[in-house]
Amino acid sequence: MTEYKAKDIQVLEGLEPVRKRPGMYIGSTSSTGLHHLVWEILDNAVDEALNGHCTIIEITLEAPDTITIKDNGRGVPIDEYRKTKKSAMEILFTTLHSGGKFDEGSYKVSGGLHGVGMAVVCALSKSLVATSFREGHEWTQEFTQGKPKTKLKKGAKSRNKGTRITFSPDPKIFSKTTFNPKLILEQAESKAFLNKGLKIIFQENGNTHTFCYPEGIRDYLRKLTDGKPTLVPDPFYIEKEAEKLRLEIAFLWTSNTDSQIYSYANAIRTVDGGTHENGFRNGVTRALRAYLDRRNLMPKGISSITGEDVKEGLVAILNVYLQGNVEFQGQTKGRLNSDITSQVESVVKHSLEHFLHDHQSTGDLIANRVILAAQARIASRQAKEAVQRKSNISHRLNLPGKLSDCASTIRDESELFICEGESAGGSSKQARDRKTQAILPIRGKILNVETATLDKILANAEIKNIVSALGAGIEPKFDYGKLRYGKIILMTDADVDGAHICTLLLTFFYRYMPQLIENGNLYIAQPPLFRIDAGKKLYYAVDENERDAIIEKLNGARYEVGRFKGLGEMPAEDLKSTTMDKNKRTLIQVRIQDRERTSDLFDKLMGKDASSRFVFIKEKAPFFQNLDI
């Protein structure tokens, strides 16, 4: 038995905890965590703007892995910190939980009180150069991996004010250190939207982008709904200031069924919502209930409207500015925990209710929109209950007849291949491992769920077979605990039709079984399009580029190229060795990086509005030639 004594205990010094466990501070070391470093420094500059000290922020992508963020705020303090003989700048960049945001003296409003942002960025950077413009001079200090590389240096005279931070992420921490200009561009624009009049300039690859919006989030909402039919031409706007809270909201309803609520706290995006978002939802629901009751607009058959009815088609931007102790959930600040639900709810309820009564024609339009959503909800519930009643007639598990199930009942080792076509299903059955791999062939292209009502979706034979095979139901009553397979693999032909079928299936899973994607259960198979026979050697290629690369490597040796017409035409041995064998195949796991952008993309590509697809195709057409259609 191994002894466990005091000598076995480690105490991590300085910023070592950050480098040992970066995920605790930035969420992950993926692209999301990499860009979180940029957001931390950018948020500090925005905090200067929120407190009235900064009007311009400049972001420059110096190289693919090097970025500079500069503001014209007050600059990082450079005087000696207490009795340490170290400058305040060195303390801020090398010590966790240091900063000027722990009381209300230096910052009345800030994007959180963790006091770890700059230190974490410093710890996870192979190099960081901080420059402060204060007291008529430039003051510069260099750091590497969270440790000072130089002392604080007094530089040339300067009339400028502010801070400039240049850093490069450490490749020992991040597998990829290349910044994504598009992500930074979107973040810069959103910060400009959230701060009226603040100018943010982003420079990358010789391009300069300048953002400045006089109407702030109202301009933001107009951009989000551009091209979408809305009930009213201009957004509702609420701005309210109370003790230690300033609230700014812009929202409206579109004819789409999905909703988009972008919530922020002190200009920090709260992707997981929080108390401010709960207050907003409750306030809007209560205001519309009161309006419907007072105007006696509620039709027979609907006892009450719900928050989901009100949410349908709602697009909103909500930003609260809090003084004092702002409580976020975790260092990545994805959720606001500060106790302000009732305050926000009260402001929204009274403001919206007064507006609806003062503008009754607009109020009736919105009320009818919500009533239609409620009627659709009730009809969907009745359709589900009808399906449930039919399934309850049989006490045995009602699996679809086309399903060739696997022998194993252990979910984590079982896989379901959803195949395109009966012939592909036949090849797949011969190629599979009968113990752990089940096959469900589907006929042709399934229903596009983005444009269909729920009763039509539930009546579709192919979708019913998929739902029945998986055994977990669909949203909003999806039960992950009843899922029968640990991997659901979409296996379609490697051509345009196959890609379309795969997209239709992805749309269904995204809208009605999103938990499968969130939990990492959904995959896309990669069957080859070509087979290259070169003597005794055999190669497979998923596309023309891979085929050409293989041929080039043959250095003139004789070869024959065969093209598979589809999965059904592929010999079972080929299908097994390339696509189904767990030791040889390649699978793409389906993941969601940005919920709002993903939802918007599905709406654009698969929704009822064809004009958005026309624009998308027109934009992308120049990049594609010789399509296999």
CA-to-CA dists, residue 79 to 76, 91, 92, angstroms = 9, 11, 12
Reported as a single tens digit per residue, the pLDDT across 409-462 is 888 899 999 988 776 667 888 889 999 999 998 887 888 888 887 778 888 888
CA-to-CA dists, residue 409 to 151, 465, 576, angstroms = 64, 19, 22
Instruction: Write the CB contacts of 354 (distance below 8 Å, at least 6 apart in sequence).
Output: none
Task: Give the CATH number for residue 236.
Answer: 3.30.230.10
- 544 assigned to active site: no
- Choice among 497, 546, 596, 609 that is catalytic: 497
- Return the closest-CA partner of residue 495 out of 421, 596, 397: 421
Instruction: Answer whether residue 263 shows pLDDT above 60.
Output: yes
Please state the three-class secondary structure of 209-230 as a single string.
Answer: EEECCCCCHHHHHHHHCCCCCE
Domain assignment present for 470 = yes
Instruction: Give the pair of three-digit tokens for residue 402.
Output: 């086309």
CA triple 107-113-115, angle to 5 deg: 100
Q: Which range among 318-332, 392-406, 474-488, 588-602 shows the weakest confidence by mean pLDDT? A: 392-406
Instruction: Give the pair of three-digit tokens for residue 516.
Output: 């499968």
Domain assignment present for 384 = no
Reported as a single tens digit per residue, the pLDDT across 505-556 is 999 999 889 899 988 999 998 888 888 988 888 888 888 888 888 888 888 8
Structural domain of 275: 217-378
Picking from 169, 189, 211, the residue at the C-terminal end of a domain is 211
Residues 225 and 170 in one domain: no
Residues 341 and 464 in one domain: no
Mean pLDDT of 267-280: 88
Instruction: Write the CB contacts of 147 (distance below 8 Å, at least 6 apart in sequence).
Output: 14, 15, 94
Residues 200 and 225 in one domain: no
Instruction: Answer whether residue 101 shows pLDDT above 80.
Output: no
Environment class of 113 (CB within 10 Å of its CB; exposed 0-12, middle 13-18, buried 19+): middle
User: Could you give the CA distance from residue 416 to residue 409 in angstroms, rounded to a whole number?
Assistant: 12
Instruction: Give the pair of three-digit tokens for residue 291.
Output: 């309006």
Domain assignment present for 154 = yes
Residues 47 and 119 in one domain: yes
Domain assignment present for 547 = no
Domain assignment present for 555 = no
Q: Please check whether residue 237 is in contact with residue 93, taking contact to mean a CB–CB distance below 8 angstroms.
A: no
Task: Give the CATH number for residue 197.
Answer: 3.30.565.10
Q: Tell me, what's the pLDDT at 13?
A: 55
- In the chain, what's the furthest Cα-to-Cα distance? 85
CA-to-CA dists, residue 382 to 107, 302, 387, 450, 459, angstroms = 54, 13, 9, 20, 13
- The count of domains in the chain is 3
Reported as a single tens digit per residue, the pLDDT across 49-89 is 888 889 999 999 999 999 999 999 999 988 887 767 788 88
Reported as a single tens digit per residue, the pLDDT across 128-157 is 999 999 989 999 999 999 999 999 999 899
Residues 203 and 222 in one domain: no
Q: What confidence tier does 95 reach under pLDDT thresholds 50, 70, 90? A: confident
- Return the closest-CA partner of residue 32 out of 23, 42, 41: 23
Q: Tell me, what's the pLDDT at 69?
A: 97
Mean pLDDT of 222-235: 86
Instruction: Give the pair of three-digit tokens for residue 436.
Output: 């752990």
Residue type for position 596 = E
Task: Give the count of alpha carbons within 13 A of 394, CB side only.
Answer: 7
Q: Tell me, what's the pLDDT at 377?
A: 83
User: Could you give the CA distance from residue 94 to residue 79 in angstroms, rounded to a whole number?
Assistant: 16
Residues 124 and 240 in one domain: no
Task: Give the CATH number for residue 491.
Answer: 3.40.50.670
Residues 57 and 202 in one domain: yes
Q: Tell me, what's the pLDDT at 557?
A: 85
Radius of gyration (Cα) for the chain, nearest Å? 29
Residues 153 and 26 in one domain: yes
**Which residue shows structure tokens 């599905």?**
602
Reported as a single tens digit per residue, the pLDDT across 340-394 is 999 999 999 999 999 999 999 999 999 999 999 888 888 877 776 665 545 443 4
Q: Tell me, what's the pLDDT at 540?
A: 86
- Choice among 420, 462, 574, 603 that is catalytic: 420
- Sign of the torsion angle spanned by Cα atoms 594, 598, 604, 605: positive
- 495 assigned to active site: yes
Q: At what angle do helices 360-392 and 341-358 cross, to 10 degrees?
A: 120
Reported as a single tens digit per residue, the pLDDT across 153-205 is 998 999 999 999 999 999 999 989 999 999 999 999 989 998 888 999 999 99
Q: What confidence tier does 111 reach under pLDDT thresholds 50, 70, 90? A: very low
Q: Tell me, what's the pLDDT at 180?
A: 94
Domain assignment present for 458 = yes
H-state helical runs in 513-583 = 514-518, 544-553, 572-575
Residues 157 and 174 in one domain: yes
Q: Which range among 237-251, 395-409, 476-490, 519-533 shows the weakest confidence by mean pLDDT? A: 395-409
- Choice among 495, 546, 596, 609 that is catalytic: 495
Instruction: Write the CB contacts of 337 (distance below 8 Å, at least 6 apart in sequence).
Output: 274, 275, 327, 328, 329
Q: Which residues of 384-403 are buried (b: 16+ CB within 10 A; e: fewer)?
A: beebeeeeeeeeeeeebebb
Domain assignment present for 286 = yes
- 422 assigned to active site: no
Element at 461 (helix H, strand E): helix 461-470
Q: Tell me, what's the pLDDT at 395?
A: 33
User: Could you give the CA distance from residue 461 to residue 230 in angstroms, rounded to a whole number?
Assistant: 34
Instruction: Give the pair of three-digit tokens for residue 28.
Output: 């992950």
Mean pLDDT of 479-485: 89
- Choice among 345, 415, 493, 600 that is catalytic: 493
Instruction: Give the pair of three-digit tokens for residue 526.
Output: 């990669």
- Return the closest-CA partner of residue 184 out of 92, 65, 270, 318: 65
Between 450 and 306, where is the model more confident? 306
Share of the chain above pLDDT 70, in %: 87
Average pLDDT, the chain: 84
Q: Tell me, what's the pLDDT at 602?
A: 79
Mean pLDDT of 231-259: 87
Domain assignment present for 579 = no
Please state the three-class secondary structure of 484-498 as a single string.
Answer: CCCEEEEECCCCHHH
- 497 assigned to active site: yes
Picking from 156, 176, 211, the residue at the C-terminal end of a domain is 211
Q: Tell me, what's the pLDDT at 389?
A: 47
Instruction: Answer whether residue 472 shows pLDDT above 60.
Output: yes
Residues 368 and 230 in one domain: yes
For 146: left if phi > 0, alpha if psi spans -120 to 50, otherwise beta; the answer is: left
Picking from 378, 401, 430, the residue at the C-terminal end of a domain is 378
Residues 190 and 333 in one domain: no
Environment class of 207 (CB within 10 Å of its CB; exposed 0-12, middle 13-18, buried 19+): exposed
Residues 201 and 315 in one domain: no
- Return the closest-CA partner of residue 578 out of 540, 532, 534, 551: 540
